[in-house]
Amino acid sequence: MTTRSAPGHGRPDPSLDAVMSERRHLLNLAYRLLGSLTEAEDAVQETYTRWYAMSRRQQDAIESPGAWLTTVASRVCLNVLGSARARRETYVGEWIPEPLPGGAEWLGGRQGGAAVDPADRVTLDESVSLAFLVLLESMTPAERVAFVLHDVFCHSFPEVAEIVGRTPGACRQLASSARRRVRAARPSATAAGRRTDVVGAFKRAWEAKDIEALVGLLDPDATATADGGGLAPTFPHPIEGGERIAHAWAELARRRPAGTLLLERTVNGRPGLVAQQDGTVVTVFGFEVVGDRIKNIWVVRNPEKLRLWTTDRRTG
Per mean pLDDT, which range of 107-111, 209-213, 231-235 is the poorest? Answer: 107-111
For residues 113 and 311, the answer to whether their CB atoms sit within 8 Å is: yes
Tell me whether residue 172 is in a domain.
Answer: no
Tell me whether residue 295 is in a domain.
Answer: yes
Q: What angle do CA 217, 218, 224 make, to 5 degrees?
A: 135
Is residue 104 scored above 80 in pLDDT?
A: no
Tell me whether residue 146 is in a domain.
Answer: no
Q: Which has the closest alpha carbon to 289: 226, 203, 181, 207?
A: 203
Domain count, the chain: 1
Tell me whether residue 30 is in a domain.
Answer: no
- Quick one: pLDDT at residue 238? 97
**Tell me, what CATH number does 117's domain have?**
3.10.450.50
| pLDDT tens-digit series, residues 207-232 | 999 999 999 999 999 999 999 999 99
Tell me whether residue 178 is in a domain.
Answer: no
Is residue 167 scored above 70 in pLDDT?
A: yes
- Quick one: pLDDT at residue 120? 58
- Quick one: pLDDT at residue 126? 74
Tell me whether residue 265 is in a domain.
Answer: yes
pLDDT class of 188 with cuts at 50, 70, 90:
low
Boundaries of domain holding 316: 98-124+191-316
Is residue 20 scored above 90 in pLDDT?
A: no
Tell me whether residue 113 is in a domain.
Answer: yes
| pLDDT tens-digit series, residues 242-290 | 999 999 999 999 998 888 999 999 999 999 999 999 889 999 999 999 9
Tell me whether residue 241 is in a domain.
Answer: yes
Q: Which has the closest alpha carbon to 70: 28, 42, 37?
A: 28
